[in-house]
Amino acid sequence: MGVEYLILLLLAFMLLAVLIAVEARDLLSSVISLGAGGFALSVIFLLLGAPDLAITQVVVEVIALVLLIRLVVTRKDTTSETPGDALRTGLVLLGGGVLLVGMFLAVGGATSTGTIPEFGQPLMAKADSGAVSADYLAKSADETGAANVVMAILLDYRAYDTLGEATVIFVSILGAYAVLRRVGRRDEREAAA
């Protein structure tokens, strides 16, 4: 039960980090708080038993944080300060609170009814065969038609997980390209002239 509360605490920390990122006046503070929220997400992935997602999140977070800090430090800020909107901040806090309560009720109710096993219990164990992995090995060639069992598991049984990881990597590559591209940028000497 203690790990569930740790996850809820990390979710609250992520919500606070996002709120600071939205409300901070300094762009560097926003980038750092957004990075802190991303690292909290990687710890949540690790606690939930998904080390592959945690490693992917850490790599993407480090690359994005380095690129964004580099961009923020070298750019000149020409924006004007706008007054804060209390209604917007209140709606973000209310929405985040409703999300946390809904998640807690959904996970707590599913655990008590038996649809989700207790935290720390094996997700894939079956009483008759010992584990789902034995079923994967026995049925992957017949069900999927793939000769390679690893690719059958990644692309057929765990397709959404693989798609999520590929999407995270693709978006990080696009973000790096958008930050580092030269087309459409003016030289500072041309801008001063």
Per-residue model confidence as pLDDT tens digits over 147-182: 777 777 777 777 777 778 888 888 888 777 777 766
Dist CA 10 CA 39 (whole Å): 10
Query: At 4, is the pLDDT very low, low, confident or very high (cuts 50, 70, 90)?
Result: confident
Domain that holds residue 68: 2-76+88-123
How many domains would you assign to the chain? Answer: 1
Give a yes or no: residue 36 inside a domain: yes
More confident residue, 51 or 62: 62
- What does the block give as tokens for 66? 């380095």
Give a yes or no: residue 146 inside a domain: no
Give a yes or no: residue 132 inside a domain: no
Give a yes or no: residue 32 inside a domain: yes
More confident residue, 185 or 97: 97
Query: At 187, is the pLDDT very low, low, confident or very high (cuts 50, 70, 90)?
Result: low
Instruction: Report if pTM > 0.75.
Output: no
Give a yes or no: residue 60 inside a domain: yes
Give a yes or no: residue 114 inside a domain: yes
Among the ranges 8-17, 45-54, 69-78, 100-109, which has the highest mean pLDDT value? 8-17
What per-residue confidence (pLDDT) applies to 80? 60
Query: What average pLDDT score do residues 80-92 get?
Result: 73
What per-residue confidence (pLDDT) applies to 13? 92
Give a yes or no: residue 106 inside a domain: yes
3-state SS, one letter per residue, for 29-85: HHHHHHHHHHHHHHHHHHHCCCHHHHHHHHHHHHHHHHHHHHHHHHCCCCCCCCCCC
List, for residues 108-155, the tens digit of each pLDDT value: 665 555 566 666 666 666 545 456 667 777 777 778 777 777 777 777
Give a yes or no: residue 110 inside a domain: yes
Is residue 52's pLDDT more than 50?
A: yes
Query: At 184, is the pLDDT very low, low, confident or very high (cuts 50, 70, 90)?
Result: low
